Amino acid sequence: MTRNHPVFSIIIPAYNKEKGIATTLKGVIQQDFPKNQYEIIVVNNNSRDQTKAIAQKFPVKVVDENKQGYVFALRKGCLEAQGKIIIFTDADTIVPKDWLAQYQKAYQDPKIICAGGGANFQPKFGLIFLIEAFLNFFGRVTKIASGFNFSIRRATYQQLGGFNPQINFHTDTDLILRTKKEGQVVFLPKNKVITSSRHYHEKAGIIYVFKGIINALWLFLFKKTIFYKFGNIR
């Protein structure tokens, strides 16, 4: 990379993820992609555990965002990003070694301004098989991916004014919906990450799914959401 313009900036928001962040960072560091062509930015969002200390052991940039919330951590990471393409994942997600290479292949088409990928949820329990199948099918049909595996050209992100700070739960969906009005968005079903199924566990998981469905529908219909909070990130 040139110092100021790597190809990719990988943004990882993190809150109290000492148990998962090391595995996540090992995955993004061990990419089959030139090391000098991407940067990794971990945004520590007021973690009270060892998340920040663990992240600082890796060759990544660690920044703090003191305003609590997923959307604020994402916005802070994007302010720090220097890459031509910004990619997002979570601090308990494992990306494949060719993750960046697959995104790079997609972005060789200059018409593509946003791209996302599929997911494999772990551990498996209850209805998680159906949720996983639905989200991957939803991505194929709508071209809308989740925040643990999507990307956008930085110029497009800046043109759109970035993530809407008024939307926290589904701020990623909101950004992609706005992006679709500006150019071509694609979904890469084979570019799957392994991500935590923590949101969907037991009674809390049922409530999360219910809120998510309502929020998504409201966003599609009225360009705003009902529920702001969904648990501290990520």
Sign of dihedral through CA atoms 180, 185, 190, 196?
A: negative
* Residue 38 counted as domain residue: yes
Domain that holds residue 215: 8-222
Give how far Cα 205 sits from Cα of 199, 212, 223, 228, Å. Answer: 5, 10, 25, 16
pLDDT above 60: residue 2:
no
Q: What is the pTM of this model?
A: 0.93
pLDDT recorded at residue 116: 98
* Residue 230 counted as domain residue: no
Q: 3-class DSSP state for residue 73?
A: helix
CATH of the domain at 15: 3.90.550.10
* Residue 234 counted as domain residue: no
Task: Say how many domains are in the chain.
Answer: 1
The residues facing 194 across adjacent strands are: 94, 120
pLDDT above 70: residue 231:
no
Q: What is the mean pLDDT of the chain?
A: 93
pLDDT recorded at residue 199: 80
The span from the CA of 49 to the CA of 34, in Å, is 32
- pLDDT per position as a tens digit, 141-185: 999 999 999 999 999 999 999 999 999 999 999 999 999 999 999
Q: Which residue has the higher pLDDT, 170 or 198?
A: 170
- pLDDT per position as a tens digit, 89-138: 999 999 999 999 999 999 999 999 999 999 999 999 988 999 999 999 99
DSSP state for residue 21 in the 8-state scheme: H
* Residue 162 counted as domain residue: yes
* Residue 231 counted as domain residue: no
**Least trusted range by pLDDT, from 57-66, 81-90, 217-226:** 217-226
* Residue 229 counted as domain residue: no
Q: Which two tokens stand for residue 62?
A: 């660690």
* Residue 2 counted as domain residue: no
The span from the CA of 205 to the CA of 202, in Å, is 5
* Residue 205 counted as domain residue: yes
